[in-house]
Structure 1
Amino acid sequence: MRREPAVINSDTRLEGDKRVVPPFLKNILKKDVELTKKFVAHCLNFVQIRSFKNHCKFLEWSCHGVVWLAGLIAFTYIMGNSKLHEMEVNLFVALIIDIFAVAIIKAITRRRRPAINDDPFCIGPDMYSFPSGHASRSSMLLLFFMFLYSFPVLFWPPLVAWWLAICVSRLLLYRHHILDVFGGIILGFFEAFVMALIWIGPEASTEFVRWISDERVAGNDAEIL
């Protein structure tokens, strides 16, 4: 008995290939786009903010995941101080968690960025917008250095100022919408909470660094003794 070929509805195929956004969410995203444009346009009416925008590229690099990871590894190797291993190892874990969390959420949401980064000297950003990786990373670092591995209170005001500047710069550079930045902030705070739960103590941190680079650590400990 001959079977008739299955008929595939073109509308169904289109819906299967393309994500269907619920109407209420589509309205929220539309309002977010409009509000972001109005906010940025209003901010750029002020000379001080237009001047601040010239420094946004530096701020972008100052919170880049690659820069922080490479800088942390170099710092750990150069310093070779066992008293800093607790901070270094936990910060490394926090950065890895942030990078993977942002990548996974972006792959799920797949929200497009408002503008393409045309800077040939900048690594990234990727094509997806929600959540803001810079906002999540800066938020996690803010709580990390304020409460988890606390810096002296004297350093808190510049740290908060840097965090705020990072979040605002993502909008002024038109890398993200407002909801992307708020989503990144919430994610970063949650990452700091997770780090508080899984915090690695000084002994385990030193053992981890020794496992990675036994000769370097042993040499520095000998010099200290």
Structure 2
Amino acid sequence: MKTSSAILKYLLEKDVQWSTYCVSILYNYTFFKSLKINCKFLEISCDGIAWLFSWMAFIWIINSKALLQMQVNMLMGLILDIVVVAVLKSFVRRRRPVSIKDTWVIGPDKFSFPSGHSSRAFYVLIFFTKLYSLPFFLLIPLTTWAVCVALSRLILQRHYILDIFAGVVIGVLEARFLEFIWVSETFAENIIGFMSASE
């Protein structure tokens, strides 16, 4: 038990050192310094609550039978992501590299592991590349966005490298899990019908 605890402590210390080192290297370049303001927009673009409510609004506004199955499955994955990340954060309770003082950022919590933005970005990326393929010309900007979101977590010092890596892995696994529980078009219609009737 002491050995595993010592290994974990060593890994976390190295994670902090490498994260600090990477941030200092990035900040030596004017490009990354100027990118910091864009990172804040990336942060908002991948916020969990914003994605959840925006996607529900998308389902309500664009009530198309052709899209309904995709919309419901994506919504299930977004809810799964929020739950998984929240449970892991409350269990691990690792503090962020620096305290968040940007009051205009949507609901940042104080725990760092795993990165919810990274998990969400890569869940969305895998969803639209493997489960519901978008046209090829949209995949390049989507991939760029997902990678930039993950990188922005380090630049903004919201997370350590290990948090980001764990988030990416979780996002990929969530998309793969959704592949196994993918709901049919009929089931998706029943869910939306039930929700509409209950209103």
Q: TM-score range by the shorter chain?
A: over 0.9
Structure 1: stretches of 5+ with no match in the other structure: 1-20, 217-225
Cα distance in 1 between the residues matched to 2:56 and 2:170: 24
Q: 2:52 aligns with which of 45, 55, 69?
A: 69
State the match for 2:94 in structure 1: 111
For the residues of structure 2 that align with 1:185 and 1:115, how far apart are their CA atoms?
A: 21
Q: Is contact 2:88-2:113 (8 Å) kept?
A: yes
The residue number in structure 2 matching 1:86 is 69
User: What is the RMSD of the two structures over their aligned residues, measured on CA atoms?
Assistant: 1.5
Q: State how far apart, in whole Å, the 2-side matches of 1:139 and 1:176 are.
A: 16
Give the structure 1 partner of residue 34 of structure 2: 51
Q: Matched residues in 2 for 1:210 and 1:53: separation?
A: 44
Count residues in correspondence.
196
8 Å CA contact 1:59–1:169 kept in 2: the answer is yes
Distance in 2 of aligned mates of 1:31 and 1:120: 30
Partner of 2:124, secondary structure, is helix
Q: Which residue identity lines up with residue 61 of structure 1 in the other structure?
A: I
Q: Return the letter of the residue paired with 2:179.
A: A
The answer as to 2:157 corresponding to 1:201 is no
Which runs of at least 4 in structure 1 moved beyond 2 Å after TM superposition? Answer: none
Which one has the largest radius of gyration? 1
Question: Which of 90, 94, 100 is 2:83 aligned to?
Answer: 100
| Higher mean displacement: 49-58 or 59-68 | 49-58
How far did 1:46 drift? 1.2
Unpaired segments of 5 or more residues in structure 2? none
Identity %: 40
Is 1:117–1:124's contact at 8 Å kept on the other side of the alignment? Answer: no
Quick one: which of 112, 115, 124 aligns to 2:107? 124
Distance 1:214 1:80, change over 3 A: farther
